[in-house]
């Protein structure tokens, strides 16, 4: 499910995986996943994406990438990672902005569905980001949910909009 909230700093976008969807992006951004699959219940939050290679029926790293369309910037990011039922597991993840590694978190411990980590990265800004869940060696039984970011017009686009407003105002007076 997709939620948009307009604000002075742009639109707040929430990718909420409460139901199986095809990531209903709009013309301002796109969403791609690799080895992430939807699951409805049993995790710390209802409806998550979990990492698994279904083709080979084996653990695999999973990733979600969001790319802004030309003229837009992605700012701030938060997401949740939750455990599954009564399974104790461990997960590491990597976070990239514009293809550059920004952060690695290793050894997050999950005590089943009782564990929920909220990851908040408010100062990121770029044209793309990627979250990679490391589920390669052992099944992590960890779900990704509530990926949230701000979608704002790029500074150059804002200047053009301001210039267009000034020009439009002058034409009306003439």
Q: Hey, where are the domains in the chain?
A: 2-173
CA torsion angle for 58, 100, 91, 151 (degrees, to 10)? -100
Tens of pLDDT, residue by residue over 6-36, are: 444 578 888 888 877 656 668 899 999 999 9
pLDDT at residue 6, as a whole number: 43
Q: Provide the pLDDT confidence category of residue 160 given band limits of 50, 70 and 90.
A: very low
Distance in angstroms between the alpha carbons of the first and the last residue of the chain: 48
Q: Provide the pLDDT confidence category of residue 158 given band limits of 50, 70 and 90.
A: very low
- In CATH, the architecture of 2-173 is Sandwich (2.60)
- Burial label for 5, CB within 10 Å (0-12, 13-18, 19+), is exposed
Question: Three-state SS for 54?
Answer: coil
């Amino acid at each position: 499910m997709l939620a948009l909230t307009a604000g002075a700093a742009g639109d707040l976008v929430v990718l909420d995986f409460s139901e199986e969807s095809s990531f209903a992006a709009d013309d301002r951004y796109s969403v791609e996943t690799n080895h992430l699959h939807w699951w409805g219940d049993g995790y710390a939050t209802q409806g998550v994406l979990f990492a698994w290679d279904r083709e080979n029926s084996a653990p695999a790293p999973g990733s979600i990438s969001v790319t802004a369309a030309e003229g837009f910037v992605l700012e701030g990011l938060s997401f949740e990672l939750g455990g599954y039922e009564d399974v104790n597991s461990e997960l590491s993840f990597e976070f990239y902005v514009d293809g550059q590694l920004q952060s690695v978190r290793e050894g997050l411990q999950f005590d089943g569905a009782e564990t929920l980590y909220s990851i908040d990265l408010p100062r990121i800004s770029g044209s793309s980001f990627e979250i990679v869940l490391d589920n390669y060696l052992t099944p992590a039984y960890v779900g990704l949910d509530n990926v949230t970011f701000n979608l704002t017009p790029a500074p150059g686009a804002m200047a053009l909009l301001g210039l267009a407003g000034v020009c439009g105002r002058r034409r009306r007076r003439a």
